[in-house]
Structure 1
Amino acid sequence: MEYDVVLIGSGFGSLSAAALLARQGLRVCVLEQAKYPGGCASSYKRKGYWFETGATTLVGLDQNMPLRYLLDKTGIQIKAQKLELPMQVHLPSGQMLTRYRNLEAWLAEAERVFGKYNQRPFWQHCFKVSQQVWQASLQQRSFPISNTKDLILSVCRARPGQLALLPAAFRTMEDVLRKYDLLQNKPFLDFVNEQLLITAQNHIHEVNELFGATALCYTLYSNYYVPGGLINLVKPVEAYITENNGEIKYGQQVESVKKTGRMYWIKTNNQTFQSKYVISGIPLNNTLQLFKNERLKSKLGKYILPSEKLNGAFTMGLVLKLKQPPAVLHHQVHVPEGLPLIGSKSFFISFSDPNDTLRAPAGQMVASISTHVPDPENLRIEQKYILEDAILTALCKAGLIDLKSILVKHSATPGAWNFWTHRAYGAVGGYPQYKQIKPWQMKDARLDHDGAYICGDSTYPGQGIPGVCLSGIIAVEKLLQDHF
C-alpha cells in the first residue's frame, strides 16, 4: 500500500498534521495501534462509561492559538462548551482558590489568598509574556531552526516583539519570582510549583520564563468542556481526514521504519506500508527504536531523556451518584505531606458535566483523576490500593466526593500506561522543561533530514493539546517547505 505520507500514531499532533496534509491534496494514512484515535487526548469506554484517557481540559481555541489555526484552515467544527470557571485549587491551608478566566477577577483572588504584595505586577507580566508567546508561536512555524531555509523564513517572519522574548528563554520562573520578591511567600511558591507541574512537568528552578509564564496563565484563556469526552474533539478531525482521501487504520502496531531508495517502508504487526514521507507522532524514545539506523540513533540520542528525568502517571476513574453537582469541573488538590508510595504533593480531578448523558446516565457522573509518578521505569507501585485510599481520603476532606456515592472505581499505574499505550516507561505528559534545554535546543520536526518528521509532546513545543497541535502544524510546514 503506497501513500504520500504515513503518520505513526493518532495522537493529536499526528491528526493535526494529517488533516493539514489532506487539505493540501496529499494521500495520507495514519497507523494507530489502539482502537480509538487521539492518543492521550481522547476517551475510552469502560463498563458503559466514557473516561478521559489523559488530557481533561481543552484550551487553544482563542485567536493566535494552534487549535484555532487548525480549525480555521480546515473548516472542521467541534462542539465544545466554554467554562465560566476553569479550575479551583484546594490549598494545604484548607482554603479554596478559584482560577478565574478574567484577569482582574483572578488578580483579586490571588491577592485575597496570597496577599497583595506584588501579585498584580507578577501576573500582569506573566499574562503579557503568554500573549506574546502564543502570537510568536504561529508566526514562527519554521522554529526551531534546523536548516538554512528555516533561518531565512524565521528572519523574514521576525517581529520586534519576538526579539524582546529572547531573554526570557534564559530566565527561570525562580528568577521571575525573585524579581518580584515573591520567593519568601511560601504558600504562593507551593501553589506555583504545583501549577507548573501539571502544565510544564517541572518546578520553578527548571522551567524557563517563556514556558512557565504561558503555563501559569492557561486558565486566563478560554477553557472548554467537550460533551461525550475528548473523543469528540478527535472524531471531527478523523472524519475530515477520511473525507479528504485519507485513511486511519487501527490495530496497526508499527515495528520498524526503513528507507529504501526514495520510499519509506513501514512494517506493522500485520502489514507493510510504503510512503514518500513519514511523520512519527509517538515519543522520541519510541520513535528511535523503529528506525533501524544506528547513525540516526547516534545523532538524535542527545535529545532522548531517560526515565529518571520523566514523569509517569497514576490515574483513577470514578463513577459517582450525582448528589450536588460541582460548580467547577476541574480541581487540583494539594497534599503537602505527599501521597504515599510516590511522594506527589498534588493531584488533579476532572468531573464530567452533570448534564452530559453521553458519558454517564442521568443522575451519575464520571471523574478522572491523575497524579505524577517520577522515574516511572523504576518506581514500581505494587500496592496501589494504598495510593487509591490516600487520594479518596483527600477528596473527601476537600468536600469533592462522598465515599458512599462511588459506583465504579478503577486505577492504572505507569506499567498499565506502558502496556496500553506502548509509550516508553509509561511516561506521559511529554518531556518536562529543564533550564539547560532552551526552546531552540528542543527536537525540531525534522527527524532524518531526508523525508522523515516527528511531532508530539516530546518535541518542540511540548505537552498539552495546544502544544502537540502546534507540533503537527510545524511538521507539515517543514515537510511542505522541504519537498513541495
Structure 2
Amino acid sequence: MRYDVAIIGSGFGSLTAAALLAKYGLRVCVLEQAKYPGGCATSYLRKGHWFETGATTLVGLDEHMPLRYLLDQTGVKVPVQVLETPMQVHLPDAQLLTRYGNLEQWIAEAERVFGKYKQREFWEHCYSISQEVWRTSLRQRSFPFSNTKDLLLSGMRVTPGQLKLLPGAFRTMEQVLQKYGLHQNELFTRFVDEQLLITAQNYLPEVNELFGATALCYTLYSNYYVTGGLINLVKPVEQFILAKGATLKYGHEVQEVRTLPEGYRLKTSKEEVESRFVISGIPLNNTAQLFQEEKIKRSLKPYLLGSDRLNGAFTMALVLRAEEANEVLHHQVHLPQPLPQTGSKSIFISFSHPSDRLKAPDGTVVASISTHLHHPQAHLIEDKAALEQAIVQELGRRGLVRPESILSVQSATPGGWIFWTKRAFGAVGGYPQYRKIKPWQMKDARLDHRGAYLCGDTVYPGQGIPGVCLSGIIAANKLLQDHF
C-alpha cells in the first residue's frame, strides 16, 4: 500500500506529527524498530514492574506550551497528577534545596541557600524570558526559516516581545550570571551547571540565554506524574492515530530510504513501504545513514555532531521495598567528587508515586537513575558492578536509597542504548546546546525541500518531551504549509 506520509520512528515527536497529519486526513504509516511506541519517552514492562526508557519528568501542559497544544488539537486525555514539589537538589556541601513550583517560594529558597544577592533579579529575569520563549515557540511554527514563505509567515506573526528575545541568542548563561554578579558564587554556578546539564545537555559557557533561561525554569511550570509510567502518555496518542486510520508497524526497522520520482521508498527489516512524503523522527546521525541520495547526505553533514560533542548515560532501574512514602519524586544529587568511570558530577533519580500500583505492585517502588557520560564512544564502562555500588552509596548517603531495601537492579551503558534504541553512539537527550549554534542555525524541519522532513531531539528546538513535541508540530506544519 502507498501512504501519504511514512514516519520513521515512534518517538514523541513522530507521534505528534502523525497525530496532527492524521487529523488533517492524510494516510499515515509509522515505522518503529521496537515492539512498543514512544522511543525515549515511554516505559517497558519487566517482571511486573514498569520502568521508564529514558525521560522521567513531564512538563508542557500549561498554556502556550506544545503538549497542551497537541492535546487540545486532538482531544487526547492523559492520566496525570500534578506534582506539588517538582524536584529537590542535594548540593555537594550536603544542603538540601527544594525546587518549588511557585516563583516566590523558589526565590526565597534560592536566597536561603545561595544568599540574597541578586537571586530575585536573576530568577525573575529568567522566568520572564522563559514565558516569552514558550509564547513565541507556538506562534512561530515556521521557524527556523528555510524558504521565503517561512520568512513572510513569521514576519506576519512577529510581536515586540519576540524581538526583545533576539539578544538572548547571542548571550551565554555564563554572561548572564556575570551580568548579575553571580559568577563568583561557586555553589550557585555549580548548581546552575548541573541543572543545565539535565535540560540543555551542556554547561554555562555553551548554553545561550534563550535555551538556558527556559531550561532553568522548567520547575516553575506545572510538573506532572503519569500514572503507570510515560507509556500512558504515549498510548492515548497512539490510539488517536489509529482511530484516524493511520497504520503503526512495530518491529519494522527502517534500513534505507530511496527517492522516487513522486515520493520515497523505505526498506524495512520486513517489507518495503512507499509514500508521497517521509518524516524522520530519529537522530540526525541515524537519518544520514538511511537516505541514499548524495544530495541529502551532503545537506545533513554540516549539522551532524560526533560522539565527542554528545552525551551518553549510565542508567539504573531499581525495584525497592516500599518503606516511607517519597513526598518528592525527582531528585538531583550533586557530588563532591566525580563518579568513577563516567566522571559525572551529578546523579538524577526519579521514584514512582507511592499510590501508583500500576507501575509498582503493592509493597514496592520503582526508581529510575541516570548519570551523564560525555563522549560515549570513547568511554566504555568496564566494571558495571563497581559503578552501581558507587551510585548506590552516594544515594544512600543522601538518604534516598537504603541498600538493604533494594530488591532488584538493572543497569545499562551507552552500548545498551545502542542495542535497544539504535541511537548512534548511544547518545541521550538530543544534541547539546552550543554557543556557536544559534537557534536559527539548528536543523530546520525540511530535509530535502521536496517531501522529506525531520523531527525529534536533534533538530530545533531540541531536548525534552516539550521540545520534541514542538518539533513534531513544526514538521507537520511545514509539510502542510508546503503542499496543501
TM over 0.5: yes
String of CA shifts for 1:317-357, please: whole Å, max 9, x gaps.
Answer: 00000110111000001112101001000010000001111
Distance 1:245 1:172 in 2: 46
- How many residue pairs are counted as aligned between the two chains? 484
How big is each residue's C-alpha offset from its partner over 1:48-71, in whole Å with a ceiling of 9 and x where there is no partner? 210000000000000000000000
2:120 counterpart letter in structure 1: R
Residues 180-199 of structure 1: pairs in structure 2 closer than 5 A: 180-199=180-199
Question: Partners in 2 of 1:358 and 1:133 — Cα distance?
Answer: 36
Q: Determine if contact 1:8/1:14 at 8 Å carries over to the other structure.
A: yes
Amino acid at match of 1:41: A
> Counterpart of 2:31?
31
Q: Which moved more, 1:228-237 or 1:318-327?
A: 318-327
Give the Cα–Cα distance (whole angstroms) in 2 for the partners of residues 163 and 199 of structure 1: 24
Q: Distance in 2 between matches of 1:229 and 1:61?
A: 17
Tell me the alpha carbon deviations over residues 81-108 of structure 1, each in whole angstroms, 9 at most, x when there is no partner. 0000000000011110000000000000
Cα distance in 2 for partners of 1:182, 1:25 equals: 52
Quote the residue 2:90 is aligned against: 90
Q: Please tell me the root mean square deviation across aligned C-alpha atoms, in Å.
A: 0.5
* Structure 1 residues 170-209: aligned runs within 5 Å: 170-209=170-209
Contact kept in structure 1, 2:11 and 2:39, CA below 8 Å: yes
Which residue identity is paired with 2:219?
A: T
Shift of 1:297: 1.0
CA–CA distance in structure 1, aligned partners of residues 421 and 300 of structure 2? 23
Q: Are the counterparts in 1 of residues 319 and 407 from structure 2 also a CA contact under 8 Å?
A: yes
Three-state SS of the structure 1 residue aligned to 2:188 is helix
Does 2:374 correspond to 1:374? yes
Deviations 1:106-129 (A, max 9, x none): 000000000000000000000000
8 Å CA contact 2:263, 2:451 repeated in 1: no
Q: In the aligned structure 2, how far is the partner of 1:461 from the partner of 1:406?
A: 38
2:427 and 2:435 map into 1 onto residues whose CA distance is 20
Aligned to 1:42: 42
What is the CA-CA distance between 1:263 and the residue it aligns to? 1.9
What is the one-letter code of the residue matched to 1:170?
F
2:141 is aligned with 1:141? yes
State whether structure 2 residue 111 is matched by structure 1 residue 120.
no
Larger CA deviation: 197-206 vs 254-263: 254-263
- Whole-Å separation in 1 of the counterparts to 2:260 and 2:202: 41
> 5+ unaligned residues in a row in structure 2: which ranges?
none
Q: How does 1:104-253 map to 2 (within 5 A)?
A: 104-253=104-253
| 1:294 match | 294
Partner residue of 1:335?
335
User: Could you tell me which amino acid in structure 1 is paired with residue 457 of structure 2?
Assistant: D
Contact 1:355-1:362 at 8 Å conserved across structures:
no
More moved, 356-365 vs 184-193: 356-365
Partner of 2:384: 384
Q: What amino acid is aligned across from residue 242 of structure 1 in structure 2?
A: L
Q: Distance in 2 between matches of 1:230 and 1:113?
A: 33
Is the 1:336–1:346 contact (alpha carbons within 8 Å) kept by the matching residues of 2?
no
Would you say the 8 A contact 1:201–1:433 is kept in 2? yes
2:314 aligned counterpart, secondary structure: strand
SS of structure 2 residue aligned to 1:200 = coil
Q: 1:174-211: CA deviations, max 9, x gaps?
A: 01000000011000000000000000000000000000
For the residues of structure 2 that align with 1:183 and 1:379, how far apart are their CA atoms? 31
Q: Indicate whether 1:282 and 2:293 are aligned.
A: no
Q: How far apart in 2 are the matches of 1:196 and 1:411?
A: 24
Question: Is it true that 1:306 corresponds to 2:306 in the alignment?
Answer: yes
Match of 2:100 in 1: 100
Q: Return the offset for 1:403.
A: 0.7
4+ residue segments displaced more than 4 Å: none
TM (norm. structure 2) is 1.00
Identity %: 68
SS of residue in 2 equivalent to 1:347 = strand
Q: 2 CA distance for matches of 1:389 and 1:31?
A: 39
Q: Partner amino acid for 1:474? A: I
1:480 has 2:480 as partner: yes
**One-letter code aligned to 2:209:** E
Give deviations 1:110-154, integer Å, cap 9, x for gaps.
000000000000000000000000000000000000000001001
Range with greater deviation from structure 2 (467-476 or 260-269): 260-269
Give the Cα separation in 1 of the matches to 2:104 and 2:296: 50
Query: Aligned residue for 2:450?
Result: 450
CA contact (8 A) 2:57 2:225 kept: yes
Q: What is the match of residue 73 of structure 1?
A: 73
3-state DSSP of counterpart to 1:239: helix
In the alignment, the residues of structure 2 paired with residue 348 and residue 72 of structure 1 have an alpha-carbon distance, to the nearest angstrom, of 31
Q: Which residue of 2 is the match for residue 6 of structure 1? A: 6
Opposite residue 310 of structure 2, the aligned amino acid is: L
Output the TM-score relative to the length of structure 1.
1.00
Structure 1 position 422, deviation (Å): 0.4
2:55–2:464 Cα contact (<8 Å) kept = yes
Q: Which amino acid aligns with 2:279?
A: I
- Give me the whole-angstrom Cα distance separating, in 2, the residues matched to 1:294 and 1:444: 19
Unmatched segments (≥5 aa) in structure 1: none
CA distance in 1, matches of 2:476, 2:87: 33
